[in-house]
Structure 1
Amino acid sequence: MEPVEYDETIHPVVWLNKIKSCCYKNQITKKEDIMEFCKSMIHPSIDVSKSSTFDEILNILKTDALFALFKYSVEEKLQNLKFDPKNKDHVQFIKKIKSLNDLIGYFNQSFLKRRKLIRSGSCISLKHVATGKYLTSCNMHYKTGSKGSIVFASQTLSNLNSLWIVSDFENESNPIVYGKNKVYFLNKGVNENIFISGDYKSPSTGNWEVSCTREIYEHLIESDSTNNNDTYYIKSKEIINIRDMETNNCILHSHEFPFTIDNETYQEVVGHKGRVDRNDKWCI
């Protein structure tokens, strides 16, 4: 067995086991000698000089870019892998993974990463970052203004009224892109779409009223600067802003100002113009 340098084509644990086997075969049995030989087979760009145990070496390798490349290559192969009893490729691939646990782990990682992307048709909740309440609608109607279904921020996420289907007719089932895809938000409880009015004022503060209606109104989802995105696709748990694209380019906003209808008190959700502020931030 010839020793191999560490690269992106092999899992660090598998590589280390091969190095150990090679050492034992060549009568290298002292831990210190194996450690030094192991370090010599790692490219100098990966600094393992201060490592004193094999676990420390593995931890360094798993944080290096080469390991990321290995995971991406595995993910790509998993996506392209099709079961065919007459084709031995899937057997060879699983042999490379070496264990069922690794295979399950990489599959889960790939699957969960895919699930985090917000797509046209995704069902989401929107939590107001500043107050911790959820964007909600219900069958109660405004007494003034549009007299449409009210939109407010609710303390709890307890029913369909706080769930929204985000959709884009031109981008069916594909991931939503920040600042590009024009989307609409359908409330699952009232089966109506969110709308920031350019004609009616909100009941408490006199900003622009937000209601739900059967008509479709498009919005842009904009990224908050704190997301640290490595991609332009929108993911769950990210902080976003929502901007109206139909009427007056308003931003969806909430605050701790209440309004009351039929002796029930609700936290106001409104649209406003101008710069984005802390009350415009929503967590998916």
Structure 2
Amino acid sequence: MEPVEYDETIHPVVWLNKIKSCCYKNQITKKEDIMEFCKSMIHPSIDVSKSSTFDEILNILKTDALFALFKYSVEEKLQNLKFDPKNKDHVQFISIFRKYCYEAEIKKIKSLNDLIVYFNQSFLKRRKLIRSGSCISLKHVATGKYLTSCNMHYKTGSKGSIVFASQTLSNLNSLWIVSDFENESNPIVYGKNKVYFLNKGVNENIFISRNYKSPSTGNWEVSCTREIYEHLIESDSTNNNDTYYIKSKEIINIRDMETNNCILHSHEFPFTIDNETYQEVVGHKGRVDRNDKWCI
């Protein structure tokens, strides 16, 4: 480690710690010797010749006019510091933020650690928000199975890609991209943003039919299609959510906005295609019941 001359572009305490580390590495351990070495690394325009302690050196450096300019430059860095919520490395941002607060000697904050903890919690909370473009799974609350599609097609009705509730969350067929053309990457609001659900496995969108009946119970058929059909995400009354934004782990209802104003529903009634049995997913009208609840 090379010795660092104090040039007023570094915080005095940070500089002093570096000087001490350099001394220890070079076997300079006596306080008097370290003190003299410190003085030798400070430009003569700042008079520290009469200082006898490290605290006295620091006080002189901090009362120098250029230290005020240094703090001002750090405050400008703080003002220009931008946080990107899409960046997963939020810890690095917090580290830089804390460094700048320290170097600018911002003292109006009651507790810098409390501020950092609050920021971290807020960031993690923000990351849980469901946005346009989020990739999600939807677990049927009553049966514990996942909303799924695949390349199997109905033999009757629309003959489109089947939608069913799967026992496992094992592949792209149980993942959905929730999107809103008008909202881009902003958080999605309960009962306001009209969204569509694109299945990652079949690359088609979920659709509640207005014409075809489901194969088992005769409710409205649910399939996947290349056409886009809009839905509203409605909040379940059990959610403990003090905002209008949709978060992961919350219980929701999904209502079709294009056709019959139907609600996405599943139950333990099966249907069979080519000797394979699937749990039926349908659309129905009327009051919301326990089989209409999905967990994000």
Task: Give the TM-score normalised by the residue count of structure 1.
Answer: 0.66
User: Which whole-Å deviations, capped at 9, do the CAs of 1:180-212 have from their partners, x for residues lacking one?
Assistant: 110000000000000000100000000000000
In structure 2, do the counterparts of structure 1 residues 231 and 271 end up closer, same or farther at CA, with 3 Å as the change threshold?
same
- Displacement after TM superposition at 1:110 (Å): 2.4
In structure 2, do the counterparts of structure 1 residues 162 and 27 end up closer, same or farther at CA, with 3 Å as the change threshold?
closer
Q: Is the 8 A contact 2:94 2:116 kept in 1?
A: no
Local SS of the residue matching 2:148: strand
In structure 2, do the counterparts of structure 1 residues 104 and 196 end up closer, same or farther at CA, with 3 Å as the change threshold?
same
Range 38-47 or range 119-128, more displaced: 38-47
Q: Is the 8 A contact 1:219 1:243 kept in 2?
A: yes
Range 62-71 or range 234-243, more displaced: 62-71
Q: Is the 8 A contact 2:141 2:294 kept in 1?
A: yes
In the alignment, the residues of structure 1 paired with residue 207 and residue 239 of structure 2 have an alpha-carbon distance, to the nearest angstrom, of 26
- Cα RMSD for the two superposed structures: 13.0
- Displacement after TM superposition at 1:69 (Å): 31
Q: Is the 8 A contact 1:71 1:106 kept in 2?
A: no
Range 111-120 or range 34-43, more displaced: 34-43
In structure 2, do the counterparts of structure 1 residues 13 and 123 end up closer, same or farther at CA, with 3 Å as the change threshold?
farther
In structure 2, do the counterparts of structure 1 residues 151 and 99 end up closer, same or farther at CA, with 3 Å as the change threshold?
same
In structure 2, do the counterparts of structure 1 residues 109 and 141 end up closer, same or farther at CA, with 3 Å as the change threshold?
same
Local SS of the residue matching 2:75: helix
In structure 2, do the counterparts of structure 1 residues 140 and 86 end up closer, same or farther at CA, with 3 Å as the change threshold?
closer
In structure 2, do the counterparts of structure 1 residues 72 and 137 end up closer, same or farther at CA, with 3 Å as the change threshold?
farther
Q: Is the 8 A contact 2:229 2:258 kept in 1?
A: yes
In structure 2, do the counterparts of structure 1 residues 25 and 56 end up closer, same or farther at CA, with 3 Å as the change threshold?
same
Local SS of the residue matching 2:209: strand
- Displacement after TM superposition at 1:157 (Å): 0.5
User: Which whole-Å deviations, capped at 9, do the CAs of 1:222-281 have from their partners, x for residues lacking one?
Assistant: 000000220001111110000000010000000000000011100000000000000000
In structure 2, do the counterparts of structure 1 residues 149 and 34 end up closer, same or farther at CA, with 3 Å as the change threshold?
farther
Q: Is the 8 A contact 1:167 1:183 kept in 2?
A: yes
- Displacement after TM superposition at 1:93 (Å): 13
In structure 2, do the counterparts of structure 1 residues 11 and 267 end up closer, same or farther at CA, with 3 Å as the change threshold?
farther
In structure 2, do the counterparts of structure 1 residues 59 and 162 end up closer, same or farther at CA, with 3 Å as the change threshold?
farther
In the alignment, the residues of structure 2 paired with residue 261 and residue 63 of structure 1 have an alpha-carbon distance, to the nearest angstrom, of 82
Q: Is the 8 A contact 1:128 1:281 kept in 2?
A: yes
In the alignment, the residues of structure 2 paired with residue 117 and residue 239 of structure 1 have an alpha-carbon distance, to the nearest angstrom, of 13
Q: Is the 8 A contact 2:266 2:281 kept in 1?
A: yes
In structure 2, do the counterparts of structure 1 residues 238 and 87 end up closer, same or farther at CA, with 3 Å as the change threshold?
closer
Q: Is the 8 A contact 1:254 1:267 kept in 2?
A: yes
Q: Is the 8 A contact 1:165 1:185 kept in 2?
A: yes
Q: Is the 8 A contact 1:138 1:189 kept in 2?
A: yes
In the alignment, the residues of structure 2 paired with residue 45 and residue 133 of structure 1 have an alpha-carbon distance, to the nearest angstrom, of 74
Larger radius of gyration: 2
Q: Is the 8 A contact 2:85 2:123 kept in 1?
A: no
Runs of 4+ in 1 over 4 A off after TM superposition: 1-80, 82-104
Q: Is the 8 A contact 1:9 1:70 kept in 2?
A: yes
Aligned residues: 284
Residue matched to 1:150: 162
| Consecutive unaligned residues in structure 1, runs of 5 or more | none
Task: Give the TM-score normalised by the residue count of structure 2.
Answer: 0.64
User: Which whole-Å deviations, capped at 9, do the CAs of 1:116-164 have from their partners, x for residues lacking one?
Assistant: 1110000000000000000000000000000000000000001000000
Q: Is the 8 A contact 1:195 1:217 kept in 2?
A: yes
Residue matched to 2:88: 88
Q: Is the 8 A contact 1:187 1:193 kept in 2?
A: yes
In the alignment, the residues of structure 2 paired with residue 222 and residue 206 of structure 1 have an alpha-carbon distance, to the nearest angstrom, of 25
Q: Once the two structures are aligned, what percentage of the paired residues are identical?
A: 99
Range 72-81 or range 265-274, more displaced: 72-81
In the alignment, the residues of structure 2 paired with residue 51 and residue 280 of structure 1 have an alpha-carbon distance, to the nearest angstrom, of 76
User: Which whole-Å deviations, capped at 9, do the CAs of 1:82-120 have from their partners, x for residues lacking one?
Assistant: 499999999999997799976764443122111111100
Q: Is the 8 A contact 2:147 2:174 kept in 1?
A: yes
